[in-house]
Amino acid sequence: MNYLESLNIEQRKAVLAVEGPVLIVAGAGAGKTKTITHRILHIIASGVSPERILAITFTNKAAKEMRERVRNLIEEDPNLVHLRRSMPFMSTFHSLGVFIIKENAPLLNLPRHFNIFDTADSKKALKDALSYVGVDPKEYLDKIRHIISNEKGRGVSLSEYGERGSYDFTSELVKKAWTRYEEVLKKEHALDFDDLLLKSLKLLEKYPEVLKKYQDRFLYIHVDEYQDTNKVQNQIVELLAGKNRNICVVGDTDQNIYSWRGAEIKNMLHFERTYPEVSTFFLEQNYRSTKNILGAANKIIEQNNFRIPKKLFTENKEGEKIGVFEARNEIDEAHFIALKCKELIEKGQSTEDMAVLYRANFQSRVLEDAFMSYGVAYQMLGTKFFERKEIKDAVSFIKASLNPENVTDFSRIINIPPRGIGKVTLQKIIQGLEDVLPEATKIKISSFRKMLSDFKDVLLQEKPSDALRHIIRTSGMENMYKTGFEEDTDRLENIMELVTLAIGYDIYPGEEGIEKFLTDTALASDQDALDGGKNGVKLMTVHSSKGLEFHTVFICGLENDLFPHRRMGEAKKSGEDSEEERRLFYVAVTRAGKKLFLTHAQTRTIYGTMEVNSRSEFIDDVPEKYIEKETFLGEFPRKPLFKIEF
């Protein structure tokens, strides 16, 4: 039981409460991952086989960290080291969905190697569906996509949506576009991200034998970031835990920032109603932030009403005060931040420990300009490695090889490298009219299909990294990028980095490795880009910063209507909606460990219009005793940092 010695009193109580439902209210920086992993270790040490334990979180990065910590804890314990090859099932919700669907694919009329549509695939398919039903995708794409995603997130299938009563124009359009979209998915044996959860839920609800199999397999269930679960995710968890009721959920209502994508804070607020016998523990000791930063954070969040009350405390030093800087405009604001980062770097601070957070993506442009102008290294979070063309091409070769019905990926790679197959020819292939094509073209297509068939054999027999090397070389991608041009060299290096990534999946037996590789690449999040090894100050939205921590944090653009955010023409938020913006600010503040800067601008150009702004109400919520005014003694450049061409 030596592993309990490193835990504080509340963490230890939560770890030891193994049987029955457990709610852990874990504040920012309070060691929730440590508590979860030690709880898993304690269950294993009690004699439970690791395979009977399930732990679910929201990002690949968080799941990987949890997995590594549990493995290290097991290997450090001489009584458990023999179990190091037998690990609990630790994954994201979507990866769990893939696992359940693959094991029961015939019940859904799907092949085991079904295709997963990423965001770009889904957008394209829905765009085509909207064109098919006769409306302009530019006008309706985002709105219809959001509606369909939200309906799926609430557990509503297309057939259930169609059974509703009267419809207005939008509802009728959703029904028609959704119907066409589902036809495309079915034809390609594909599921989108929302389907991975919805189809899993339907399997558990419709087939009692499937539900029993997973209830008997997973005797102890853990859910991280429980406040971010939507209706479908919560229903999946409740079904899996329904028999044994050994469910431990960990979360913080003050960090619920995803209602716009279906997260329901009531799942956590009402947990005690669902499980009256619940044991509740509060992790309130913060190990990350200074007293000043934490004091400000507590004052900010205590103004919200929709929360489980708690008050974080720390034994850390009082620390520096929070710097507040008022700029004349967004350019001066960006220059202040870049110069302050440069100053801190020259004093020895690592760029890896610094982050600049903003509410809206458009704010990044002037920040990038300023960082470049002063030669300060930075990394933009949001440019995903797996969204790069050459990476998507390489992954498409794998997907098209494993699933011959996958039209999307087949179409993407049939001319990579160029094979002289035009759009008209491709359309005839898709329509099943290959017989009318010239004999020479038929030979090209036949040769391409044969190559994909050979690739499938290699993928199912070789290690993922070896199979990927073979595909890159044999397909012609490698030679295609050996032009000597810098851009092509970068693309080739990116593909080689993909092979390096695949090595991590070589440990899995048979085709399990390539399946896990495809699942993780399809479900990669913004934060996964942080593992790429690129140094620099991190620039990201506040939403992307969730779960991360830094020595120094800048929160910029703190003006009313920007942060708190209000879209053009939108009425001022009130009640629960306004509280989410405050929670978002609270998340941003609690990313900082030692130093926090809050910046705002008197004027800011948004959508081509210069606006005069009032300072964010959030800054006014921070007591004066925690604040010091930042000044800049030099002169910012007055010339524009970017060129506008007409």
Catalytic site positions: 32-33, 224-225, 255, 591
CA atoms of 219 and 248, how far apart (whole Å):
11
**Shortest CA distance to 12 belongs to which of 2, 21, 20?**
2
Return d(Cα 600, Cα 165) in angstroms, integer: 49
Asked if residues 133 and 179 have their Cβ atoms less than 8 Å apart, the reply is no
Q: Looking at 318-417, which runs of residues are DSSP E strands?
A: 322-327, 354-358, 378-380
Residue 50, amino acid:
P
Count the neighbouring beta carbons within 10 Å of the beta carbon of residue 259. 16
The number of angstroms, rounded, from the C-alpha of 578 to the middle of its chain's C-alpha atoms is 24
* Residue length of the chain: 646
Residues 6+ apart with CB under 8 A from 72: none
- DSSP assignment, residue 420? S
Q: Which of 522, 425, 183 is nearest to 414 (CA)?
A: 425
Q: Residue 238: which residues within 8 A CB-CB, separation 6 or more?
A: 274
Peptide bond between residue 417 and the one before it cis (omega within 30 degrees of 0): yes
Token pair listed for 95:
């990866």
Among candidate residues 450, 425, 409, the one with its CA nearest the CA of residue 114: 409
Q: What angle separates helix 486-503 from helix 389-402, to the nearest 10 degrees? A: 50
How many C-alpha atoms does 499 have within 13 Å on its Cβ side?
Answer: 16
Q: Is 134 exposed, middle or buried (0-12, 13-18, 19+ CB in 10 A)?
A: exposed
**Hey, CA dihedral for 449, 454, 457, 459, is it positive or negative?**
negative
Closest CA to 315 of 272, 284, 358, 345: 284
Is residue 518 within 8 Å of residue 398, measured between CB atoms? yes
Q: Is-contact 539 368, C-beta < 8 A?
A: yes
C-alpha distance from residue 614 to each of 333, 573, 601, 623 (Å): 15, 17, 8, 18
The SS3 assignment for 506 reads: coil
DSSP code at position 17 = -
Q: Three-class SS of residue 250? A: strand
Q: How far is CA 32 from the centre of its chain?
A: 19
- The SS3 of residue 282 is strand
The residues pairing with 627 across neighbouring beta strands, listed in sequence order, are 322
- Please give the helix or strand (H or E) that residue 317 lies within, else none: none
> What is the distance in angstroms between the CA of the first residue and the CA of the last residue of the chain?
70
